[in-house]
Structure 1
Amino acid sequence: MLPQGNATFLLLLSMVFLSWRVCHGGKILIVPLEGSHWVNMDIMIKALHSQGHSVDVVRTNQSWYIQDGFPHYKTITVPVSEAFNHDFINPILIKIFDIERGESSFLSFASLQLEMFSAMFNMHRIMCKMATKMFTDKDLMNSLKESKYDLVLTDPAWGAGIMLAHALKVPLVYNVRWTTSGEGHLALAPSPLSYIPMTGSGLTDKMTFIQRVKNLIFYAIWQFQDGFLISPQYQAVCDKFFGPEVRYRNLLQGADLWLMRADFVFEFPRPTMPNVVYIGGFQCKPAKPLPEHLEEFVQSSGEHGVIIMSLGTFVSELPADITNKVAATFAQLPQKVIWRHKGDRPATLGNNTLIVDWMPQNDLLGHPKIKLFVAHGGTNGVQEAIYHGVPVVGLPVFFDQYDNLLRLKQRGAAQILALATVDKNNNFLKAIQEVLNEPSYRFNMQRLSTLHRDQPIKPLDNALFWIEFVMRHKGAAHLKAVSYRLPWYIYHSVDVVLSFLTTVAVIIILHLVFFRSVCLGKCSIRKTNGK
C-alpha cells in the first residue's frame, strides 16, 4: 500500500500527463474509401486516437462501412443521392462474372475493359458529385476551416480528400496503394516499363520482348482511362472552385507523405521517392484466441487441419453453380473448412464445411491448425497470409487481385485459378491438393513471413511516427521532389534535347553554307581563269 500522500501525488501526476497528451494531440481529418480500404484505415484511426489525436471522418449519408457512434472518431456526414456501396458494386460484379466465364478471346478482353472503364468513370463521377456537394455547402466548409485541422489523411484512390486538403490549406498524407490514376508509384516515381509490370498485365519484373509490348499496351490503357475518363472530372471540380490554374494532377502528386501499403517482400523492386514510407502489413498483428464455437470446430479437424475461404468485402457470394462446385470440392477433402459466404446455402455442402457471415480472418490465419487460405487476392488478405505464413489458392475477380496473387505465385507461395475454370476438370481440387501436399508452398510463405517481420520498427508504429512528423513540421516539403511541378517537356528534358539538336543543326548548316560558298567561289575563279 502506498501512503496516502504518495497515492495522491501519483494520481495528480497521471492527470497532468493525460491532460498534456490530450492538449498536445493533433486534429486530423480523414477522407477514406469504402470497403476493405476502410477496414485498414479504421485500424490506423484507432492507433491515432490511442496517441491522443482527435479524428474526424468524412462520410456520406449512404456509407457502406463507415458507421457513426464510435469513440475513436467523429463523423462528418455529406448528404448524397448516390454512393459507392453494395448497390453500386454488385451489378458490376455480375457483369464481370458473366464476361470472365465466357470464352477467352479478344472480344471478352475488350468487353471486360469497357466494363471496367464504365465502372471507374461512374465511381469517380460519384466522388466528384460528393466533392461538389461539400464545396458548395458554405456552412460545412466554414466549420471545417474553423476546426483548424493539422492534417488531412486520405486514401487517394478517389480524389475528394486531395481537393479538400487544398481547400483547407493543410498538409496532406496518403494511406495509399492506389491513386485515381492507377498504382501509387506511377503517379510519383520513375517507372520504366521494361521491368515495372502494369496492373492487369499479368506480368512480373522479368519480361520478354512480346511481354514488354503487352506491358506498353496496358500502360496505354491506363493512360487513356486516366486522361479521358477520370482526371477531367476532378479537373472540372478544380476549375469550378479553385480556378483553372490549379491542376488536379499537381494536387495529386503534391502530397507531403505517401504511406504505401506494400513492402518489398511482396512488391517487385522498383524506383521510389524520399516521401514514400512503406507500411505493408500494418494491419497485421498476432492472433487472438478464437471464439469458443470456432475454436471447437478448428480443434475437431485433428491432424488434417483447416482451410479458410473468403473473397473479401466486395464479393459476398458467387453464382450458384460455382458455389455448388466449390462446396462439392471442399466436401471431398479430409480437412475442415470455414467459408465466409452470404448467399444461399449450397446444395452440395459437406459436413466438414462451416459457413459463416463473418470470420476473424487475422486470428484464424494465425492459428496453428490453418493449412490453406482460399482468397480473392485483395491486398489486406494477401498481407495477412504473408504475416502468418499461410499459403494461398487464389480466385481473383478484378482490379489488382490477380497481380497480387501473381507476386505470391512467382515466389512459390500460391496457386492461381480463374473463376471461370473452377468447375472444369477438377481444377479447384487439384490446386488445393497441390498446395496442401507440396511442402515448398508453406516453406516459401513462411520464409516471406520471416522477411516481412524482420524490421527495426513495426509498420503501424512507422506510420504513426511519420504522420506526427508531418504534423510537427507543418508538412514535409524537404522530402518532395520538384518533378510534379515541372511541365512534361522539362521533366523529360525535351527542351534541352531540342536546343542541342537545333544547335548541332545550325552548326552543320553553317558549315554546309560555308563550304558551298567556298566551292562556288573556286568554281567562279576557275571559270574566270578559263576565259
Structure 2
Amino acid sequence: MNNNLKMSRVIPVLLTGLCLLLFRPTCCSCSNILVVPVDGSHWINMEIILQELHARGHNITVMHSATSWYIPNNSTWFTSINVQMLDDEDKDFYNRMLLNYLECRKSSTFMRTFCQNNLVGSMLDVGHKFLSESVAGILDDQAFMKLLQDTKFDLMLTDPCLPVGLLLGSYLKLPMVYNVRWMDTGDVHFTIAPSPLSYIPFPGSELSDQMDFLERTKNTLHYLQNLAQQHFIINPYYSDLLQRHFPPGSDLMSLQLAADMWLVRADFIFEFPRPTMPNVVYIGGFQCKEARPLPVELEEFMQSSGNHGVVVMSLGTLVSALSRETMEAIAAAFARLPQKVLWKFVGEKPSSLGNNTLLVKWLPQNDVLGHPKTRAFVAHGGTNGLYEAIYHGVPVVGLPLLFDQFENILRLKVRGAARMVEAGSLTEEGFLEALKDVLETPSYRNNMKRLSQLHQDLPMSPMDTAVFWIEYVIRNKGAAHLQAAGFSLPWYSYFCLDVAVFFTAVTAAVVWALFAVCRNVCCRKSRRKTKAD
C-alpha cells in the first residue's frame, strides 16, 4: 500500500518533468526577427526558412511593399510592415528584358555576355535610383525608425540582392544574417572571399573553371566591367544617404562585409570549387524534400505514360512564355515524343500541340520531379528548380532566358547532366534532338543520380543547418569572431602593395649602393692609373 502511495506521488512529478523537458522553450525561442526579403522567386525560398523559424517559436516581422507579387499583406504566422521599396507593379519588365537578351544572344560567344551585362547595368541604374530614394525615405522617418528601435528586434534576416535590408539592419545595429545567392555586386563569393580570376569564372561570363588565355582575358574584362558598374552606377546613388545616416567612410561594400552570417543558397556539387570564409554556410537545396502524392488527375496522367515516362516543362515564376514561333516549335517537338509531357503553360494554346501533352497553369514541381515516371525536366535554369532536379536525380534540358540561368545550366552541362538549347534560335528539330539525347543517353540520368547522391550525403540537412546558424547568431548576439581581419584593411594593405613598394625601394637602394661603390672603386683605380702615368 505504501509503495502504491509513493508511486502515485512520484508519477505526476515525473510526468510534469517530462512535459517541461519536451515543451520547454529553447534559448532562442520567441526571438524577434526582422525580415527584409526580395520578391519573386527569392521570396519563395525565404518563406520556407521563415515558416521553419516560426514553427520553432520565433516571432517574424516582414517588411515589404504593399504591392508585392507573392508576399501577402495578411498572414497568420508573420507580421507585415508595408513600406515603399521597389516599383514592382510592372511585371512586363522581365518580358522586355527577355527580348533584349535574345538580341544579345545573336552576338558572338565572346561579346554576347558583355552585352547582357550592359543590360543588367541599365537595370541596376534604374533600380538603385529608386531603392536609394526609398531607403532614404525610411531612414528619414524618425517616428517609424523609433518604432523599429523600440520593438527590440534580435536579428535582421535579409536577402542582400537588394541593399534595403543591409542598410536598415546596419542603421539599427542589429546582428545580420543573409539568405543570399546574389548581391548588387554580383555573385556573393566575389564580395566575401578571395576570388582568383585565373580559375574562378566571374558571374555573367559563362565560363567554367577550366579557362585558356582568351577565356581568362574575358574573365578579367568582366571583373573590370563589374567594378565600373559598382563604382559609377550603384555607389553614387547611396553616397548622400550614407553621409547623413552612417559613420564617416561608410560605403555599401563595408556594410555588406559586416554581416555576421552568410547563408549561401549553393552547394559545391553544383558550384565550381573555390575559396570560402568561416562565416559562409552553404544551404543549397534547402527547399527540396521528398515527393508527396500527386492530385488524382495528375497521378492518372503520370501513370498513363507507361514505360516511356513523362517529360516535365516549366519556365519558372517570372517569365512564363516565349515567342509564338518558339512555342509552336516546342509543342511540335513534344508531339513527336513517345513520352507524355506535362507543361506548365500560360497563354494561347499552341496549334501544334500533340495529344501526349497536358497544359497546366500550376503544378507541384517538387512532387512531379520526384515522381518515378519523370524522365527529364525542361527548365529555364532557375536555381530553385535545378536544385529540385538534382535532389530527385532528373536530367535537364536547359532553355535559359535571363540573368544567371545560362551559367546555372552550364554548370550541369559541364557535369554531364544537362543539355542547353538557345531560346532565340530554337527549332523543332534542334529541340527534339536535345530531348532525345537526354532521354535516350543513360549517362545524363546516371550523372544526375550521382549528383543527387552527393547532394544528400550530409551530416545535417540544409534547412537544419540554416536554422542552426540563424539561432547561433541570435544566441551569441552576432558572430564577429568569424569575420576575417582583411575586411578592415585598406586595399593597398590587403594586396600587400605597401610591402611590395617597401621591398622595391630596398632593392633599388641596395642596387644603387652597389653601383655607387663600384663606380667609386673604378674611379679610384682610374685616378691612380692616371697619376702613375
Q: What TM-score results when the alignment is normalised by the length of structure 2? A: 0.93
Query: Against the structure 1 CA distance between its residues 98 and 509, is the aligned structure 2 distance closer, same or farther, given a 3 Å change threshold?
Result: closer
Deviation at 1:107, TM superposition (A): 7.3
Is the contact made by 1:281 and 1:387 (CA closer than 8 Å) also made in structure 2? yes
Match of 2:138 in 1: 134
Is the contact made by 2:28 and 2:471 (CA closer than 8 Å) also made in structure 1? no
Deviation at 1:421, TM superposition (A): 2.1
Query: Against the structure 1 CA distance between its residues 107 and 171, is the aligned structure 2 distance closer, same or farther, given a 3 Å change threshold?
Result: closer
Match of 1:477 in 2: 480
In 2, Cα distance between equivalents of 1:280 and 1:310: 20
In 2, Cα distance between equivalents of 1:508 and 1:86: 67
Deviation at 1:110, TM superposition (A): 5.5
1:288-315 CA distance string (max 9 Å, x none): 1111221121111111111111111121
Match of 1:172 in 2: 176
Query: Against the structure 1 CA distance between its residues 80 and 403, is the aligned structure 2 distance closer, same or farther, given a 3 Å change threshold?
Result: closer
SS where residue 80 of structure 2 aligns?
strand
Deviation at 1:481, TM superposition (A): 0.3
Query: Against the structure 1 CA distance between its residues 142 and 447, is the aligned structure 2 distance closer, same or farther, given a 3 Å change threshold?
Result: same
Deviation at 1:98, TM superposition (A): 4.4
SS where residue 177 of structure 2 aligns?
strand
Q: 1:301 aligns with which of 269, 288, 305?
A: 305
In 2, Cα distance between equivalents of 1:349 and 1:256: 52
Deviation at 1:235, TM superposition (A): 3.8
Deviation at 1:467, TM superposition (A): 0.7
Query: Against the structure 1 CA distance between its residues 110 and 183, is the aligned structure 2 distance closer, same or farther, given a 3 Å change threshold?
Result: closer
The amino acid of 1:82's aligned partner reads D
Match of 2:507 in 1: 504
In 2, Cα distance between equivalents of 1:322 and 1:123: 30
In 1, Cα distance between equivalents of 2:369 and 2:33: 32
Deviation at 1:268, TM superposition (A): 1.1
1:205-251 CA distance string (max 9 Å, x none): 11122221222222222222222222333344322321442122111
Q: 1:65 aligns with which of 47, 65, 70?
A: 70
Is the contact made by 1:197 and 1:215 (CA closer than 8 Å) also made in structure 2? yes
Deviation at 1:428, TM superposition (A): 0.4
1:241-263 CA distance string (max 9 Å, x none): 21442122111112111111111
Match of 1:488 in 2: 491
The amino acid of 1:434's aligned partner reads D
Is the contact made by 2:377 and 2:389 (CA closer than 8 Å) also made in structure 1? yes
The amino acid of 1:46's aligned partner reads Q
Is the contact made by 1:22 and 1:52 (CA closer than 8 Å) also made in structure 2? no
Aligned counterparts, 1:191-340, within 5 A = 191-340=195-344
Q: 2:436 aligns with which of 433, 436, 453?
A: 433
The alignment status of 1:358 with 2:376, answered yes or no, reads: no
Deviation at 1:127, TM superposition (A): 2.3
Match of 1:406 in 2: 410
The alignment status of 1:442 with 2:426, answered yes or no, reads: no
Is the contact made by 1:84 and 1:126 (CA closer than 8 Å) also made in structure 2? no
Is the contact made by 1:195 and 1:205 (CA closer than 8 Å) also made in structure 2? yes
Match of 1:514 in 2: 517
Deviation at 1:374, TM superposition (A): 0.2
SS where residue 452 of structure 1 aligns?
helix
In 2, Cα distance between equivalents of 1:352 and 1:404: 29
After superposition, the CA RMSD in angstroms is 2.5
In 2, Cα distance between equivalents of 1:229 and 1:23: 40
SS where residue 348 of structure 1 aligns?
coil
Aligned counterparts, 1:41-60, within 5 A = 41-60=46-65
Is the contact made by 1:61 and 1:80 (CA closer than 8 Å) also made in structure 2? no
Deviation at 1:415, TM superposition (A): 0.4
Unaligned stretches of 5+ residues in structure 1:
none
In 2, Cα distance between equivalents of 1:500 and 1:169: 41
The amino acid of 1:149's aligned partner reads F
Q: Which moved more, 1:386-395 or 1:168-177?
A: 168-177
Deviation at 1:462, TM superposition (A): 0.6
The amino acid of 1:339's aligned partner reads W
Deviation at 1:526, TM superposition (A): 4.1
Aligned counterparts, 1:366-381, within 5 A = 366-381=370-385
Query: Against the structure 1 CA distance between its residues 108 and 517, is the aligned structure 2 distance closer, same or farther, given a 3 Å change threshold?
Result: closer
In 2, Cα distance between equivalents of 1:322 and 1:195: 36
Deviation at 1:162, TM superposition (A): 0.9
Unaligned stretches of 5+ residues in structure 2:
1-7
Match of 1:346 in 2: 350
1:370-402 CA distance string (max 9 Å, x none): 111000111111111000000000001121111
1:18-58 CA distance string (max 9 Å, x none): 57459832111111111111110000000111111111111
Is the contact made by 2:177 and 2:259 (CA closer than 8 Å) also made in structure 1? yes
The amino acid of 1:290's aligned partner reads L
Query: Against the structure 1 CA distance between its residues 462 and 215, is the aligned structure 2 distance closer, same or farther, given a 3 Å change threshold?
Result: same
Is the contact made by 2:28 and 2:475 (CA closer than 8 Å) also made in structure 1? no
Query: Against the structure 1 CA distance between its residues 104 and 23, is the aligned structure 2 distance closer, same or farther, given a 3 Å change threshold?
Result: closer
In 2, Cα distance between equivalents of 1:90 and 1:98: 13
In 1, Cα distance between equivalents of 2:130 and 2:349: 34
Is the contact made by 1:177 and 1:261 (CA closer than 8 Å) also made in structure 2? yes
Structure 1 segments (4+ residues) deviating >4 Å: 3-19, 102-111
Is the contact made by 1:49 and 1:55 (CA closer than 8 Å) also made in structure 2? yes
Query: Against the structure 1 CA distance between its residues 7 and 284, is the aligned structure 2 distance closer, same or farther, given a 3 Å change threshold?
Result: farther
Q: Which moved more, 1:288-297 or 1:224-233?
A: 224-233
Query: Against the structure 1 CA distance between its residues 427 and 257, is the aligned structure 2 distance closer, same or farther, given a 3 Å change threshold?
Result: same
Say how many residue pairs are matched. 526
SS where residue 459 of structure 2 aligns?
coil
1:496-518 CA distance string (max 9 Å, x none): 11011111211222232233334
The amino acid of 2:187's aligned partner reads E
The amino acid of 2:338's aligned partner reads P
Q: 1:76 aligns with which of 77, 81, 91?
A: 81
SS where residue 307 of structure 2 aligns?
helix
The amino acid of 1:224's aligned partner reads A
Is the contact made by 1:152 and 1:165 (CA closer than 8 Å) also made in structure 2? yes
The amino acid of 2:413's aligned partner reads K
Deviation at 1:274, TM superposition (A): 0.8
Query: Against the structure 1 CA distance between its residues 172 and 103, is the aligned structure 2 distance closer, same or farther, given a 3 Å change threshold?
Result: closer
Deviation at 1:112, TM superposition (A): 3.4
The alignment status of 1:144 with 2:148, answered yes or no, reads: yes
Is the contact made by 2:35 and 2:63 (CA closer than 8 Å) also made in structure 1? yes
Deviation at 1:143, TM superposition (A): 1.2
In 1, Cα distance between equivalents of 2:54 and 2:80: 14
SS where residue 359 of structure 2 aligns?
strand
Query: Against the structure 1 CA distance between its residues 23 and 227, is the aligned structure 2 distance closer, same or farther, given a 3 Å change threshold?
Result: closer
Is the contact made by 1:389 and 1:445 (CA closer than 8 Å) also made in structure 2? yes
Deviation at 1:109, TM superposition (A): 5.6
Match of 2:44 in 1: 39
The alignment status of 1:467 with 2:453, answered yes or no, reads: no
SS where residue 153 of structure 1 aligns?
strand
1:111-148 CA distance string (max 9 Å, x none): 43432221122223232222122112222211111111
In 1, Cα distance between equivalents of 2:269 and 2:168: 34
Query: Against the structure 1 CA distance between its residues 23 and 366, is the aligned structure 2 distance closer, same or farther, given a 3 Å change threshold?
Result: closer
